[in-house]
């Protein structure tokens, strides 16, 4: 005959279900995991009640009591709260009154939390000014204990459910040390708040629902949001993707970031520790916050990525965020204090060596993904991504300093504050360029020419203020206009208008204009009035600007110290310019080489 399977009786099953519920509840789980629950006939359980709790963290349940699961949940939570609220730390003259005061306070606490269902033989209806246990105790000492409150505890009528004289030893969890029950309850309340935020964000259905254990990358992201305000706002704004197959397709060995899509990729098969994951997460967030993608400006993408990695890694090691991963990343103490632009200039001198280095993405690959996009602009967002990253870093720096969260490298703080300044308009930068080369003409008084006010005082000679020296003495510059078919007419008109205005304002009488596409066309010297008027553009063919530069530099009638303005859309070959020069480019365009002169980006 088949053996009969032994099943637990319904009472035991309901008790086990209640214990499991308490163990999973975010508020009570830190307490329940550190107590000992005994349900045996040989234990000192309350004969007329449900349960009692001892000073050392042992809960004795009545082995023969029958009750619903929700009732056992209420009883267990009541006993645990006696420990968590520190009720055992106070022992008064009449302990029965103190026990009743604590029972009333716990009953109201559970009623507010809506945990479990009070058993039918326990009184929970009372009209008392519940403020705290001490005031309730004083109230009972003055007026006596109402008869109904003899049924509020879990140990039965007129029996205290808090046992101070416990002969049992501490649970094995504590190694003989007295547990800090109040700290465990505080931890549970913090867990409940965290889960409540997750419920509000749609990540959990309720605060008691089970959630998957967080990965190391998810824990790192949460750590920045909760504990590191400098990068917390950035971490909250980026989506974390941990997909080994996707990382393999994108050739991401450890991590990478796509600022346009606001995504951070972390390869779960990289095998990083928690501290190393913190370092890698901060590394990627700083790429976005410091706008390294936008600051590339025509440089070699991979070499620029390497230069930025050198700067970031030195800062993170100095800031002691996480642990530097030993995977051959860039870390050179000799480069400390240098900007990414300066490091890039050093690397260009020996490109073959630096192209063999590896980023967090891998050898020969940059961990700043751009999907072919030249900038941060994303048409799907109402706010520009570079504005979001800049504002996040600014707010994070303010919170970091206000809360004294630790030391930050001076170079990082200086760069964040520099990014926080509003960008200067291109025409303002162009005006400063003109001021550098064309200082205002000094004026002097001369009696050789009569002042306009001389007629008002015929007997008093009045001198006239005139410019000193010759206005044409070297005050000129060259303009090379890219007139290829890819250049926009409106862009050319805007550049010429700005050049004419600044030339007239700074007493520049003439400018040498050269149109260039497949071949140079020398328009000669033109006054600001003629430039601002209609200019007949010649060419509209291909783009070869070097002949125009050579023509201007070899011209005998062009001053040796005369600067050059080059107006192009970036679709040109590498240029060799010996004298001072500057570029005017449309916003979002980049030169295919590292520019030696300033670049003004036209809106």
Do 488 and 508 touch, CB atoms closer than 8 A? no
Question: Minimum mean pLDDT among 29-33, 415-419, 446-450, 487-491: which range?
Answer: 446-450
Over residues 160-200, the pLDDT tens digits come to: 888 887 665 544 444 445 778 888 888 888 878 877 766 66
Enter the pTM of the model: 0.43
Question: With 70 as the cut, is the pLDDT of residue 97 above it?
Answer: yes
Q: What are phi and psi of 76, to 5 degrees?
A: -65, -45
Residue range 203-224: average pLDDT? Answer: 70
pLDDT of 125 = 75
CB contact burial 245-284 (16+ within 10 A = b; e otherwise):
eebeebebbbbbbbbbbbebbbbeebebeeebbbbbbbbb
pLDDT of 437 = 81
Residue range 196-209: average pLDDT? Answer: 60
Question: Minimum mean pLDDT among 195-204, 250-259, 541-550, 569-578: which range?
Answer: 195-204
Which residue do the tokens 């590191």 mark? Answer: 228
Q: Per-residue DSSP letters for 250-311?
A: TT-SSEEEETTTTEEEE-GGG---HHHHHHHHHHHHHHHHTTTTGGGTTS-HHHHHHHHHHH
Higher pLDDT, 232 or 422: 232
Q: Give the chain's domains with CATH numbers.
A: 10-186 (no CATH), 216-420 (no CATH), 478-602 (3.40.50.410)
pLDDT of 402 = 72
Do 523 and 513 touch, CB atoms closer than 8 A? yes
477: its two tokens: 């510059």
């Amino acid at each position: 005959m088949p053996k009969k399977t032994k099943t637990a009786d319904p009472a035991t099953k309901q008790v086990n279900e209640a214990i499991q519920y308490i163990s999973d509840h975010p508020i009570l789980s830190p307490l329940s995991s550190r107590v000992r629950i005994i349900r045996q006939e040989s234990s000192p359980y309350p004969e007329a009640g449900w349960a009692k709790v001892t000073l050392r963290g042992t809960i004795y349940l009545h082995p023969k009591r029958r009750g619903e699961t929700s009732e056992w949940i209420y009883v267990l939570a009541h006993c645990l709260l006696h420990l968590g609220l520190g009720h055992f730390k106070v022992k008064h003259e009449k302990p029965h009154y103190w026990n009743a005061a604590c029972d009333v306070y716990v009953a109201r606490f559970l009623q507010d939390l809506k945990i479990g269902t009070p058993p039918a033989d326990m009184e929970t209806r009372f009209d008392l000014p519940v403020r705290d246990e001490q005031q309730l105790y004083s109230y009972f000492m003055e007026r006596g204990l109402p008869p109904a409150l003899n049924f509020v505890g879990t140990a039965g009528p007129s029996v205290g459910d808090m046992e101070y004289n416990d002969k049992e030893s501490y649970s094995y969890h504590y190694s003989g040390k007295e547990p800090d029950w109040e700290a465990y309850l505080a931890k549970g309340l913090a867990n409940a708040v965290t889960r409540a935020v997750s419920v509000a964000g749609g990540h959990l259905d309720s605060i008691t629902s089970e959630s998957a254990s967080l990965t190391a990358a998810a824990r790192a992201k949460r750590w920045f949001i909760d504990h590191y305000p400098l990068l917390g706002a950035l971490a909250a704004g980026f989506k974390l993707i941990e997909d080994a197959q996707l990382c393999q397709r994108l050739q991401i060995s450890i991590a990478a970031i796509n600022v346009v899509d606001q995504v951070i990729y972390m390869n779960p098969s990289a095998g990083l520790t928690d501290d190393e994951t913190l370092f890698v997460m901060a590394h990627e967030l700083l790429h976005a916050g410091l706008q390294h993608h936008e600051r590339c400006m025509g440089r070699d993408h991979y070499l620029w990525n390497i230069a930025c990695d050198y700067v970031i890694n030195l800062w993170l090691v100095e800031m002691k965020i996480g642990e530097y991963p030993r995977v051959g990343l860039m870390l050179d103490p000799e480069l400390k204090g240098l900007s990414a632009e300066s490091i890039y200039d050093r690397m260009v001198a020996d490109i073959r060596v630096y192209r063999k280095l590896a980023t967090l993405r891998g050898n020969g690959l940059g961990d700043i993904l751009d999907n072919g996009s030249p900038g941060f602009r994303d048409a799907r967002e109402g706010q520009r991504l570079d504005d979001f990253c800049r504002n996040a870093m600014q707010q994070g720096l303010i919170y970091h300093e206000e809360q004294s969260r630790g030391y930050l490298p001076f170079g990082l703080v200086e760069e964040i504050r520099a990014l926080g300044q509003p960008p200067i308009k291109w025409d303002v930068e162009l005006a400063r360029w003109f001021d550098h080369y064309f200082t205002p003409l000094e004026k002097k008084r001369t009696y050789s020419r009569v002042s306009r006010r001389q007629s008002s005082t015929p007997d008093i000679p009045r001198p006239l203020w005139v410019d000193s020296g010759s206005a044409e003495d070297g005050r000129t510059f060259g303009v090379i206009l890219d007139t290829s078919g890819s250049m926009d007419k409106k862009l050319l008109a805007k550049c010429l208008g700005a050049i004419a205005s600044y030339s007239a304002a700074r007493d520049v009488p003439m400018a040498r204009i050269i149109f260039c596409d497949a071949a140079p066309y020398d328009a000669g010297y033109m006054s600001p009035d003629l430039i601002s008027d209609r200019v007949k553009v010649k060419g509209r063919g291909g783009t070869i600007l070097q002949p125009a530069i050579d023509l201007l530099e070899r011209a005998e009638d062009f001053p040796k110290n005369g600067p050059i303005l080059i107006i192009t859309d970036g679709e040109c070959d590498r240029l060799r310019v010996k004298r001072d020069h500057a570029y005017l480019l449309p916003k979002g365009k980049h030169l295919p080489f590292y520019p030696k002169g300033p670049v003004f980006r036209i809106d």
